[in-house]
Amino acid sequence: MSENVLAIEHLEVHYGHHHALRGVSLDVAPGEAVGLIGETGSGKSTLARSVLGLVRPTAGQIRIVGEDVAGHSQRQWRAFRRRGLVQYVFQDPLRSLDPDLTIEQSLIEPLLLRGDSRASALETGRGQLERVNLEPDLLTRVPGELSGGQRQRVAVARALVVQPTLIILDEPVSALDAANRVQILQIIKDLRDGGTALVFISHDLGSVAGVADRVAVLYQGELVETGPTANVLRSPQHPYTRLLLGSVPTLHAPPASRAERQALRAQLVS
C-alpha cells in the first residue's frame, strides 16, 4: 500500500486562548481528492496554512510524503518549499499572481528558481497553460488583463508546473460565476483522475460533491465527520453536516426550511 501523501495527527493550533484546531487527524492518499468542509471560522484555512508552514502548530504531527514538517524551522521550510511537493491555489488568484509579471513570467518563475533552463521552463509553462484550456496568446498579458476565470486557471497551471504531489485548493470557485465554476471544477476532476492528490477547501458541500472521493467536516476547530463522499451525502451522522446538506437545493428537493435549520442548530449547541 502506498504511503499517504499527507498525514495529519492530533493537530492543535491555539491563538492565545482561542483553539483554532482541536486534535484534528486527517490523511490524503496518492491520487485522492479530499473535500474539507466547514463554515467561515471552522478552521479550514488554519489547517491549510499549517500544512504550508505558515502557521506553527501548538501540538501534533504533519507528515508530507513521510517527512514530519510540523517542527521545521523557517530555513527548513524554505528548502522544503523549493522542492515543490505542495502547492496552494487561493480563492483570489490576484493574491498569488504578481500583478507586474506577465503570465509567462509567473508560470516559469518557480521552475527557474529550482534550476530549470529557460527553454525547458517555457515548454513546461506553455504545456500547463494548455492543460487548463487557455490559449498561448495570454502568455504576454498581466493578471489584470484577464477575467476572473482565466486568472484562476492560470493559478492552477502555476501550481502544476512543478509537478506537485499535493495541491491545496482554498475556495477555488466561490468567487466565480456559474460558467467559470463549471470549468474550474472540471479541471479539478481531471487532476484527480490524473493521479494528483488534492485537498479541496470549501464552506459549501455541494461544490465538492462531484469532485471529492472523501469528505471531512470541520466544526469549531474539530473534525466532526469524515467518510466517502457518497456515504456522507446519503447519510450524514453529525447535526452540523446535516445542516450543511440542508442548505443545498437539489433537483429532487428544496433546501431545508428555516425551522428545520433552526432545529439542527439547536442540536449543535445542546
Output b/e per residue, 58-95; b: 16+ Cβ within 10 A.
eebebbbbeeebbebeeeeeeebeeebbbbbbbbbbee
Q: What confidence score (pLDDT) does residue 3 get?
A: 85
| CATH number of the domain encompassing residue 29 | 3.40.50.300
Q: How far is CA 70 from the centre of its chain?
A: 19
Domain assignment present for residue 47? The answer is yes
| Residues 60 and 112 grouped into a single domain | no
On the question of pLDDT at 245 being above 90, the answer is no
End-to-end CA distance of the chain: 41
Q: What angle in degrees, to the nearest 10, is found between the helix axes of 178-193 and 148-160?
A: 10
Please give the pLDDT value at position 92: 80
Q: Are residues 27 and 104 in the same domain?
A: no
Closest CA to 27 of 5, 1, 11: 5
State yes or no: pLDDT of 171 exceeds 90.
Answer: no
Residues 155 and 169 in one domain: no
Task: Give the confidence band of 227 by pLDDT, cuts at 50, 70, 90.
Answer: very high
The mean pLDDT value for 179-208 works out to: 87
Q: Provide the pLDDT for residue 253.
A: 39
Please give the Cα distance from 231 to 173 (Å, whole number): 24
Residue pair 122/108 in contact (Cβ under 8 Å)? The answer is: yes
Residues 78 and 15 both lie in one domain:
yes
Q: Is residue 269 domain-resident?
A: no
Give the residue-averaged pLDDT of 27-34.
95
| Mean pLDDT computed over 12-24 | 94
pLDDT in tens, 55-95: 999 999 999 999 999 999 999 998 898 888 999 998 887 77
Q: List, in sequence order, every residue forming a beta bridge with 81; answer none if it has no partner.
A: none
Give CA–CA dist 23/175, Å, rounded: 31
199 and 81 assigned to the same domain: yes
What local confidence, expressed as pLDDT, does residue 183 receive? 86
pLDDT on residue 148: 87
Q: Quote the pLDDT of residue 263.
A: 54
> Domain limits at 207?
1-85+165-180+192-234
Q: Where are the alpha helices (DSSP H) in the chain?
A: 44-51, 74-82, 103-113, 118-131, 148-160, 178-193, 205-208, 229-234, 239-246, 258-269
53 and 174 together in one domain: yes
How would you class 181 by CB atoms within 10 Å of its CB: exposed for 0-12, middle for 13-18, buried for 19 or more? middle
For residue 252, what pLDDT band results from cuts at 50, 70 and 90?
Answer: very low
pLDDT > 90: percent of the chain: 61
Show the cell assigned to 142.
498581466
Q: What is the pLDDT of residue 254?
A: 46
Considering the chain, what is the average pLDDT of its residues? 87
Q: Is residue 260 part of a domain?
A: no
Same domain, 15 and 114: no
Taking Cα atoms as reference points, which of 125, 198, 195, 112 lies closest to residue 158?
A: 125
Q: What is the pTM of this model?
A: 0.86
Exposure of 242 in the CB half-sphere (CA atoms within 13 A): 15
Indicate whether 79 and 110 sit together in one domain: no
Residue 73 shares a structural domain with residue 12? yes
In a domain, 200, yes or no: yes
Band of residue 22 on the pLDDT scale cut at 50, 70, 90:
very high
Whether 241 is in a domain gets the answer: no
Rounded to whole angstroms, how far apart are CA atoms 76 and 211? 33
Same domain? For 108 and 131 the reply is yes
Angle between helices 148-160 and 103-113 (to 10 degrees): 20
Q: Please report which confidence band the pLDDT of residue 138 belongs to, taking 50, 70 and 90 as the band edges.
A: very high
Please give the tally of structural domains in the chain: 2
Query: Kind and range of the H or E element at 21?
Result: strand 18-28
Whether residue 247 is contained in a domain is answered as: no
Both 107 and 77 in one domain: the answer is no
Asked, for residue 268, whether it belongs to a domain, the answer is no
> Residue 192 above 70 pLDDT?
yes
Taking the C-alpha atoms of residue 64 and residue 61, their distance in angstroms, rounded to an integer, is: 10
Is residue 118's pLDDT more than 70?
Answer: yes
Q: Are residues 80 and 108 in the same domain?
A: no
User: In this structure, what C-alpha cell is assigned to residue 113?
Assistant: 528558481
The answer on pLDDT for 174 being more than 90 is no
| 154 falls within a domain | yes
Residue 251 pLDDT level (bands cut at 50, 70, 90): very low
- For the stretch 63-73, pLDDT in tens is 999 999 999 99
3 state SS of 180: helix
* More confident position, 245 or 35: 35
